[in-house]
């Protein structure tokens, strides 16, 4: 088997595994996010929204939108702009749809069952492309960043909020002990899903650190890349801007 064929098989296996994980944990996803992050994910998203400075009428696509918390935040900030939430898990989208309908935002937010590595949208369509706690789960990080860059307008922003890797001791050791040993047990006790929550620390092992992900943003052709460590490096925010010359460079 050729090398590129091996890579394709590995990517396909990862995609199938991640899909199965999120289809299964959808009912407890919001509760477990609050529990496992000590509700810090809400503060991280609020910080991200402040940095984004979304204006009324601006559009956005939220990749790996899950149960749509960030999708809804984008709609609230934009007020009248068109917002798309995209995810490959129908179960996650269904829980998101219920939230959106409860808030009366179904005319502003469109939900799409799709793949982040092959977005069903034209070039230069959105003011923002966001992905929250999903980039480490995709088979090909660079392809997703390239797709995000493609669909935003010149001057638009690609935004990633994701778990990261603390570097300072002794916090780093304590964090990894919690993430690798305690977190799967909490998944077993509260969500009855040990193997699925064991996947979360495993998904971070090969994921780029703060500086490496910033380099990947630049490699995707994004300019003015900003990287912010959050809560001692537990999470990180990356923002890059699509230059007006991006199409010409391609």
> Which pLDDT score is estimated for 173?
77
C-alpha closest to that of 32 among 215, 245, 192 = 192
- Supply the DSSP symbol for 236: E
Q: What are the mean pLDDT values of the chain's consecutive 10-residue runs (250 residues total)?
A: 34 59 50 56 94 98 95 97 96 94 97 97 98 92 98 98 84 71 60 53 82 97 97 94 72
- Supply the DSSP symbol for 139: S
Q: Does the global pTM surpass 0.85?
A: no
Q: CA distances (Å), 128 to each of 29, 125, 132, 193, in order? A: 25, 9, 13, 34
The runs of H, that is alpha helices, within the chain are: 3-25, 29-37, 40-52, 69-78, 90-103, 141-151, 171-177, 183-191, 194-205, 210-219, 246-249
CA trace torsion 87, 11, 207, 216 (10° rounding): -80
Cβ atoms of residues 160 and 135 within 8 Å: yes
> Which pLDDT score is estimated for 48?
98
Furthest C-alpha separation in the chain: 53
The label of the residue with tokens 């898990």 reads: 89
CA trace torsion 64, 70, 76, 79 (10° rounding): -30
CB proximity list for 242: less than 8 A, separation 6 or greater: 149, 152, 153, 154, 155, 156, 157, 158, 221, 222, 223
Cβ atoms of residues 100 and 83 within 8 Å: no
> Which pLDDT score is estimated for 6?
29
Cβ atoms of residues 176 and 150 within 8 Å: no
b/e string for 24-34 if b means 16 or more Cβ within 10 A? bbbebbeebbe
Is the preceding peptide bond at 170 cis, omega within 30 degrees of 0?
A: yes
What are residue 131's DSSP bridge partners?
Answer: 63, 160
């Amino acid at each position: 088997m050729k090398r590129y064929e091996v890579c394709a098989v590995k990517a396909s296996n990862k995609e199938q595994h991640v899909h199965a994980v999120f289809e299964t944990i959808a009912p407890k996803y919001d509760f477990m996010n609050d529990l496992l992050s000590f509700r810090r994910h809400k503060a991280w998203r609020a910080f991200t929204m402040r940095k984004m400075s979304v204006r009324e009428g601006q559009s956005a696509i939220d990749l790996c939108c899950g149960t749509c918390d960030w999708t809804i935040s984008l709609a609230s900030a934009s007020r009248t702009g068109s917002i798309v939430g995209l995810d490959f898990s129908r179960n996650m989208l269904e829980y998101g749809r219920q939230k959106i309908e409860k808030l009366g935002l179904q005319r502003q937010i469109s939900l799409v069952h799709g793949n982040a590595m092959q977005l069903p949208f034209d070039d230069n369509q959105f003011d923002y492309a966001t992905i929250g706690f999903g980039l480490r789960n995709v088979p090909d990080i660079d392809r997703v960043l390239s797709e995000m860059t493609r669909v935003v307008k010149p001057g638009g922003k690609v935004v990633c909020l994701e778990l990261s890797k603390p570097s300072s001791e002794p916090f780093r050791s304590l964090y990894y002990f919690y993430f690798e040993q305690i977190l799967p047990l909490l998944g077993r006790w509260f969500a009855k899903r040990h193997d699925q929550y064991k996947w979360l620390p495993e998904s971070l092992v090969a994921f780029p650190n703060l500086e490496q992900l910033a380099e990947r943003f630049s490699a995707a052709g994004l300019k003015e890349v900003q990287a912010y460590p959050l809560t001692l490096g537990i999470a990180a925010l990356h923002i890059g801007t699509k230059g007006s010359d991006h199409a010409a460079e391609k």
